[in-house]
Amino acid sequence: MITGKKEPDEIIKSLLEYFPEARIVLTLGGDSAVYADKDTKITQPVFKVNAVDTTAAGDTFTGDFLAGIIEGMPVADILRMSAKASSIAVTRKGAIPSIPYRNEVKY
């Protein structure tokens, strides 16, 4: 909504024009997630699972992503970990109870 664009590549391009030092993460629901900065673009596909409740998927992804940044992990590893955590979360009912513990997320 910020950019007025609809396609992920267009959104990223527009955001980087406005904020050239930004590090951008777009979650694209059941499709993928994309990280981009001025030098890098990484796409992380989803892990296919039988979803029962998507309530906490985005929050789980974001929380794991931020934890990885704080820990200084490489972005590709963070994306993979975050996608796996979200994939686990959607296989469980509820919000907080669905969020996996770190030891459940093998990356």
The confidence band for 30, taking pLDDT boundaries of 50, 70 and 90, is confident
Distance set, CA 68 to CA 14, 46, 61, 64, 102 (Å) = 26, 18, 11, 6, 11
| pLDDT at position 29 | 87
| pLDDT at position 1 | 84
What pLDDT, in 10s, does the model give residues 42-79? 999 999 999 999 999 999 999 999 999 999 999 999 99
Secondary structure class of 48 (helix, strand, coil)? coil
User: Which strands sit side by side in the sheet containing 41-45, from one edge to the other?
Assistant: 24-27, 32-36, 41-45
As a whole number of Å, the CA-based R_g of the chain is 14
* Percentage above 90 pLDDT, the chain: 92
Active-site residue set: 59
Tokens of 25: 């993460």
